[in-house]
Structure 1
Amino acid sequence: MSLAFAENKTRGVARGGLANMVGSALAGGTGVIVTWVVARALGAEQAGAFFAATAAFVLGGGLAKLGTPTGLVYWLARLRATGREHLLGTCLRTGLVPVFVLSFVLAGALWWWAPAFDQHAAGLRMLAVFLPFQAMTDTLLTATRGYKAMRPTVALDRVVRSVLQLLCVGTAALLFTSSLPALAFAWAVPYVPVTVLAAFALRRVYRSGRPRERSSRGSERLALRRDFWRFTGPRALASVAQLALQRVDVLLVAALGGLAAAAVYAVAGRFVVLIQFANQGISQSVQPRLAEALAVGDRATASHLYQTATGWLVLVTWPINLLVILYAPVYLRIFGGHYTSGAPVVVVLACAMLVATGCGMVDMVLAMAGRTSWNLLNVLVALVVTIGLDVLLIPAYGALGAAIGLACAMVANNLLPLVQVARSARLHPFGRGTLAAGTLSIACFGVLPLAVTAIAGEGAFGLGLSTALGAIAFAAGTWLLRHRLALHAFKPRQPSRGSL
């Protein structure tokens, strides 16, 4: 691997990742505001029903996608890297058509199952109508990322959908106060225009990269379909299990602890979405480039991408996690006084997210290395852990029990693939940048706030002073460590002196 080649790959990740992270920050911020609007408009019981219904909706969409978000990126990148562009159309049809069909089947099932929610059936049925649009939006945008095109995902999903969701939910809360079906409609309807725009974006990207010569043979198409689903099949189950890992806890809290406890848990854990968006922002930019590197056996480039991206992820997310721990009661009070009981939930989940982000996008690396069956096993283990602990702990500890279950599952779901990636692909995330980012974050937003609040107290003055000093020290440290953190990749490329 030449240094210039590795830096060129890193610059591509930086450009796509930065845009995606900015869009993800917007989407995460609007998501927190939407949560606040719902919590304020509906009250604890109704809000708990809303969060449980949206969790079921997301699970249905995840099942409909059949693991294609990973399969499409993997195979589109692999076909382009190995000079088989004439099979790109076959690959797209192989991934998109089953998702389209299954999404309507599952929408019908969700509609039929909705009466199990009793008085909240109308809200769930409203969501069922939009399930195909949600599944197709994600799948179409994933396909554009297989061409290393990040702009459609950032513009359409991160910006357009999230802003429309905020505007629609805010308007519905003002006009139809305490109406769960109205808020459900407002939350889901933005998927309709975004799906249409995503289809046009994929059509444009596909046409711009379509080869002019060489048609594919029937045997090639058949082999590709077989290989596509051999790779994607385990990932289909794993993606559903992964979504269940993220959403089933809300449903279990609602069932075992009541809707009010589910609302507290959903609100307390909302910050996790910000971290997940940051992870996705970098991961989605790395994914096609990592798949290309592994497809041609370039493990040096793959290692460079993984370690550099993990350093950036830690640099962005660890300060957020540590500040969330510091400000947990203040953060929860924004949603209403009765939500402050969720402060221990925030602390437990934030600690688990420190471990998860420290491993980088290890789940994606394992999948891009072709180990989707291992990926499935890991997620199933994590799902068993969270469900088992939830059933044991929720009746006694409520939302905190669910947080402990999810935290243990997240740790297992990251440490298991970390070991597998190291053994099978000889890759790990602990480069110089990762260690520097982690040490800097802990010093500025962990150790320093503890020292300052011990002297100035834990009131508003002490918290504000510790945060200000931590931010200044973090900014200075980031500048001093900029080369170790590979932040030069974010600088625009300077034209050579001989260029015009």
Structure 2
Amino acid sequence: MTPTGTRRGNGLGRVLRGGVVNMAGAVVSAALNLALIVAITRAFSQDTAGLLFSATSVFLIMAAVANAGAPDGLVYFIARMRVFGRPEGVPVLLRLALGPAVLASCLVAAGLMVFAGPLAEALGSEEAAAYLRTLALFLPFAVLTDSALAATRAHHDMSVTVVVDKVGRPLAQLGLVGMIALSGSAGLLALAWAGPYLPAAVLAWFWLGRIVRRAGPDDPAPAEGTPAEPAGTETTGADRSPVGAEDRDERVTPAVFWSFALPRALGGVAQMGVQRGGVVMVALLNGLSGAAVFTAATRIMVVGQFGTQAVLYAAQPRFAELLAARDHAAVRSLYQAGTAWLVCLNWPLYLTALVFAPEVMRLFGDGYEAGVLALVIVCAGQLTAQVLGMGDLVLTMTGRTGLNLLNNVMSLLANVAVCVLLVPAYGAAGAAVALVAAALVRKLLPLWQLRSLVVLHPVSRPVLAATGSALVWFGALPLFLDAVTGGGVPVLAAAVLVGALGHLGTVWRLRDRLELRR
């Protein structure tokens, strides 16, 4: 039985188109977010910056708790509905998912209001309570935004995420923070950071409504040069098995949806705890100024995550469709091509920051040079993490959210344990080691757990080509220029310019090997 919404092949063309749209937004978003952090660190003291970064980290962790896994559940089940020709079930699914998520967000926001005082005492700042209570007001809007954008991505519409989340919201945050900096009223920083979530939620849901109303059965024509399959047949092969009628008749009940979403929610909380918990741990164990330094040192990782999300957001619904059709060969092909794209996008960033770490940290102002070692550690860890690819996403799209939860909890435990051991003595550098350890745990475990379903490994021609290009243009060339000239901002700018031109030329020349022609 052939699923109505899928076709032969791994869908690299559709993923690549979505990835290009996301990447355009990611570049703008990365620049805006970096500018936001630089504006805060240069306009306010380290303690004030550390307070804001710690409070917003608590907000983002609470948002991960409140969304209850609804965004991932919406992507997974909407993609399956489209595969099996049942898009009319999407409005019902949205109501099923959003009711509990909105209720949970209101309860979490109320809890954050109540416990803002004790959290402020733990952070060692009375102002923290006002920051946390202000942020709590906007928590439901953050959850609504995440869910709406996830549903649009499940329809392969990436433009909404780009306009609303990648460009609109950070641009509004930067503008408001700039106004606050000019006025000198640091007490309004939390409002400036969280306020844009309200219009973002309204716009995202308006856009989703338009998409759902015009959606029909996703039945694309076969790729050019590919013969259409006869009705009632399934492509056979070593890695493809027939799709049974039980899949076709699947109905998404509340029990089915939340049995998928809730474990993913807990995993998402653990994952956000790793990404943002380090800031809070440094604030608790090393002071607010240490949290500001750690946040600045890890900004390069956050900038890289925008490039990663550009690929992941585009690949997520396609992985769900391929796994629903049990086309494991196409899953492997998409995984390896996606890993090569991640390396092409992110290795230049991390290699450049690794070579010119002192110059990068001076960007944030006086006193932030203490984060150079932390930046080097984070970049080295992220280079390894990018090569390991997106096995955790594939694991989630198989429906094994319990394993995903286990992996993220193990990652969080590794992060907390290393932070407790190293942060009191080494500050931001100790937290950076903890972050790298947690990332490697979360990347390696899925590849081992998926071995019985589909063997995924990043060693492939596309990945080797991508790593080779990045090492030459953003590793060897900057090191040579640094050794010859002694470094400095002009050398950094020249190395980035020449490296970017050389890397783009190499990627274009190797576009067939990198699966960039489709």
Q: TM-score if structure 1 supplies the norm length?
A: 0.91
**C-alpha distance after superposition, 1:155-194 (max 9, x if no partner):** 111111121111111112112x151x31110111111111
RMSD: 2.1
CA distance 1:158–1:310, change in 2 (3 Å): same
Asked if residue 209 in structure 1 is aligned to residue 215 in structure 2, the reply is yes
Report if aligned partners of 2:391, 2:456 keep a CA contact under 8 Å in 1: no
User: Which structure 2 residues correspond to residues 169-248 of structure 1 after superposition, within 5 A?
Assistant: 169-175=177-183, 177-179=184-186, 181-209=187-215, 224-248=253-277
User: Which structure 2 residues correspond to residues 374-393 of structure 1 after superposition, within 5 A?
Assistant: 374-393=403-422
Task: Tell me the CA shift for residue 119 of structure 1.
Answer: 2.7
Question: Sequence identity, in percent?
Answer: 40
Task: Tell me the CA shift for residue 221 of structure 1.
Answer: 9.5
CA distance 1:341–1:223, change in 2 (3 Å): closer
Report if aligned partners of 1:309, 1:360 keep a CA contact under 8 Å in 2: yes
User: Which amino acid is the alignment partner of residue 473 of structure 1?
Assistant: G
CA distance 1:210–1:95, change in 2 (3 Å): farther
User: Which amino acid is the alignment partner of residue 241 of structure 1?
Assistant: A
CA distance 1:108–1:210, change in 2 (3 Å): farther
Normalized per residue, the structure richer in helix is 1
More moved, 337-346 vs 420-429: 420-429
Task: Tell me the CA shift for residue 18 of structure 1.
Answer: 0.7
Q: TM-score if structure 2 supplies the norm length?
A: 0.88
> Pick from 141, 144, 157: which aligns with 1:149?
157
User: Which amino acid is the alignment partner of residue 196 of structure 2?
Assistant: P
Asked if residue 9 in structure 1 is aligned to residue 11 in structure 2, the reply is yes
**C-alpha distance after superposition, 1:254-285 (max 9, x if no partner):** 00000010000001111111111111111111
**C-alpha distance after superposition, 1:350-370 (max 9, x if no partner):** 111111111222211110112
SS at match of 2:44: helix
Report if aligned partners of 1:241, 1:383 keep a CA contact under 8 Å in 2: yes
Query: 1:337: which partner in 2?
Result: 366
More moved, 330-339 vs 450-459: 450-459
Query: 1:74: which partner in 2?
Result: 76
User: Which amino acid is the alignment partner of residue 187 of structure 1?
Assistant: W
User: Which amino acid is the alignment partner of residue 472 of structure 2?
Assistant: A
Query: 2:226: which partner in 1?
Result: none
Query: 1:475: which partner in 2?
Result: 504
Asked if residue 361 in structure 1 is aligned to residue 390 in structure 2, the reply is yes
Task: Tell me the CA shift for residue 244 of structure 1.
Answer: 0.6
2:252 and 2:348 mapped to 1: Cα distance? 47
Asked if residue 19 in structure 1 is aligned to residue 21 in structure 2, the reply is yes
Asked if residue 428 in structure 1 is aligned to residue 457 in structure 2, the reply is yes
Report if aligned partners of 2:10, 2:333 keep a CA contact under 8 Å in 1: no
Query: 1:140: which partner in 2?
Result: 148
1:243 and 1:161 mapped to 2: Cα distance? 19
1:198 and 1:466 mapped to 2: Cα distance? 39
Task: Tell me the CA shift for residue 459 of structure 1.
Answer: 4.5
Task: Tell me the CA shift for residue 461 of structure 1.
Answer: 6.2
Task: Tell me the CA shift for residue 132 of structure 1.
Answer: 0.7
User: Which amino acid is the alignment partner of residue 178 of structure 2?
Assistant: G
Task: Tell me the CA shift for residue 472 of structure 1.
Answer: 4.1
More moved, 324-333 vs 386-395: 324-333
Q: How many residues align?
A: 477
User: Which amino acid is the alignment partner of residue 457 of structure 1?
Assistant: G
CA distance 1:38–1:465, change in 2 (3 Å): closer
User: Which amino acid is the alignment partner of residue 153 of structure 1?
Assistant: T
2:33 and 2:489 mapped to 1: Cα distance? 26
CA distance 1:272–1:454, change in 2 (3 Å): same
More moved, 357-366 vs 81-90: 81-90
1:445 and 1:186 mapped to 2: Cα distance? 36
CA distance 1:359–1:485, change in 2 (3 Å): same
2:448 and 2:315 mapped to 1: Cα distance? 20
2:311 and 2:337 mapped to 1: Cα distance? 10
Report if aligned partners of 2:361, 2:369 keep a CA contact under 8 Å in 1: yes
CA distance 1:52–1:463, change in 2 (3 Å): closer
SS at match of 2:68: coil
Query: 1:494: which partner in 2?
Result: none
CA distance 1:459–1:150, change in 2 (3 Å): closer
Residue segments in structure 2 that go unaligned for 5+ positions in a row? 121-125, 218-248
Query: 1:57: which partner in 2?
Result: 59
| Structure 1: 4+ residue segments shifted above 6 A | none
SS at match of 1:424: coil
Asked if residue 287 in structure 1 is aligned to residue 316 in structure 2, the reply is yes
Asked if residue 448 in structure 1 is aligned to residue 448 in structure 2, the reply is no
Query: 1:32: which partner in 2?
Result: 34
SS at match of 2:156: coil
Task: Tell me the CA shift for residue 460 of structure 1.
Answer: 5.2
Report if aligned partners of 1:90, 1:221 keep a CA contact under 8 Å in 2: no
User: Which structure 2 residues correspond to residues 300-379 of structure 1 after superposition, within 5 A?
Assistant: 300-379=329-408
2:158 and 2:490 mapped to 1: Cα distance? 42
Query: 1:496: which partner in 2?
Result: none
